[in-house]
Each structure stands twice: as C-alpha cells, then as structure tokens.
Amino acid sequence: MQAAPRIRPGHWTDKEPVAALIAEALDTQPVGAWLVPEPSQRRRVLADVLAIWIEHAMFFGDIYLTDDRTAAAVGFHRYRPIPLPANYGIRLPDAAGAYTDRFSLLDQLLAVQQPSEPHYHLAFLAVAPSTQGTGRGTALLEHHRSRVDRIGLPSYATPTEGASRLYTRYGYTPRRVITLPDGPTIHPMRRNPSAVDSAWPIDAAGSASDAGSRRRIT
C-alpha cells in the first residue's frame, strides 16, 4: 500500500513553487483558458497573479503542501472581513497585463457569493498533473477537514465542476453556480464542521442568502 503523503505548512520560500504548481494545474482547465486565452502566456500570467494571493495567504491564512511540492492547499481565515492584497490595484495589472479585466471580473463574480459570517475559505487546492490520481488531493482535503472540524469553523470553496465531486465526498454542498461570460462554470460549495449545526441559510435557488465579502477559486 502506498504511504500517505506527508503534509507540512508552507513557508515563504514555497511561494513561487506553489504559484507555479497551481498555475500548472489550471493551465489545462477551462477556467485557466478563460482567464488567459493565449496558451503561450497562460501559465506565466496565472503564476504571477497566483503569487499575489499566495503571499496574501501567508498573512491572512495558511498554506499546506506535500513534502515534494506536488500538491498544495491555500486558504484564508475569514473570521472577519480581510483586505485585498497590498497594492492589488497596481499589482494585478502588472501581473495580468492584457487579461486584467478577466481577473477583475472573476473577483467580482466570486465576491457576490462569499459568505459574510466567520468561515475558512479554501481558495485553492491543486495537484500537479503528473501526480494526479495518487491520493494527494484526498489527503489535503482530509487534512483540511480535520483542521476546520477541530475549531468548529464552516468552510467555503469554489472548485471547478470536475473537482466538485471530490469535495462532495467531504461534506461540501453546492451553492449557486457561477457562469463566466462565454466561458465555463465555477461551483461554489460550503461545508459545516462535523458535530456543529451551524447552517448558513439557503434560498430556493440553493445559494447563500448572505451574499457579501470576497474571493477565490480552486
């Protein structure tokens, strides 16, 4: 039997490798192609934008990754509203260039469904394509579940359609789907901690009735 991967906290020196890892995972995904339609520029632009958010998570959240840096989870502690990354209005155009409007629109669409009450936002969970199917994503979700259950905190995530099936196995339930203009869908999901009955109100369409705050996709 294959041993479970060892998961450790991320450090400052992991910022660029984790950004590159998530960019690699998004490179072939519909969301990545929508954000950066030009294939030759996609991975570089995604990595540059992701580095901004990974740095932000080091101040307002956390990063966990496997020892071999082939899988990582990035999240934010949203006990209260948190600011945008420092100088985001300048740094995003520098990183995204001609695709800035697409990243900004994605930010806006995701912000509409971001819960306003305290929660943990699992912003990114990525596994390198070469190691997918080896249990690394499952191990990270299991690690994440044990952490948020220990502190009794609801969790929120925005996986793509394919990844949402894995999240469902870990107790996540769907919110209202986000459809990008002429593009793919994103599937916001939420999960209550085990043994804590702290349901977020859901309207008839299956969305959080507490629209507000911020961000991000996995």
Distances 137 to 42, 56, 70, 132, 141 between C-alpha atoms, Å: 23, 22, 10, 8, 6
How far is 30 from 180, CA to CA, in rounded Å?
10
Q: Which residue did the predictor score with more confidence, 147 or 42?
A: 42
pLDDT of residue 218: 47
How far is 58 from 62, CA to CA, in rounded Å?
6
Q: What is the DSSP letter of 208?
A: B
| Domains of the chain with bracketed CATH | 7-191 (3.40.630.30)
Name the band, by pLDDT with cuts 50, 70 and 90, for residue 163.
Answer: confident
How far is 116 from 91, CA to CA, in rounded Å?
26
pLDDT tens digits for range 15-43: 999 999 999 999 999 999 999 999 999 99
24: amino acid identity, one letter: E
- The average pLDDT across 1-23 equals 90
Question: What mean pLDDT value characterizes the chain?
Answer: 86
Name the band, by pLDDT with cuts 50, 70 and 90, for residue 193.
Answer: confident
- Asked if 67 and 73 touch (Cβ cutoff 8 Å), the reply is no
Nearest to 140 by CA among 17, 22, 13, 16: 22
Residue 203 CB coordination number (10 Å): 12
Name the band, by pLDDT with cuts 50, 70 and 90, for residue 197.
Answer: very low
Name the band, by pLDDT with cuts 50, 70 and 90, for residue 71.
Answer: very high
Main-chain dihedrals φ then ψ at residue 189, nearest 5 degrees: -140, 155
Q: CA-based angle 63:67:71, to the nearest 5? A: 60
Name the band, by pLDDT with cuts 50, 70 and 90, for residue 208.
Answer: very low
Q: Which residue did the predictor score with more confidence, 38 or 204?
A: 38
Whole-prediction pTM: 0.85
Name the band, by pLDDT with cuts 50, 70 and 90, for residue 194.
Answer: confident
- Asked if 61 and 77 touch (Cβ cutoff 8 Å), the reply is yes
Name the band, by pLDDT with cuts 50, 70 and 90, for residue 131.
Answer: confident
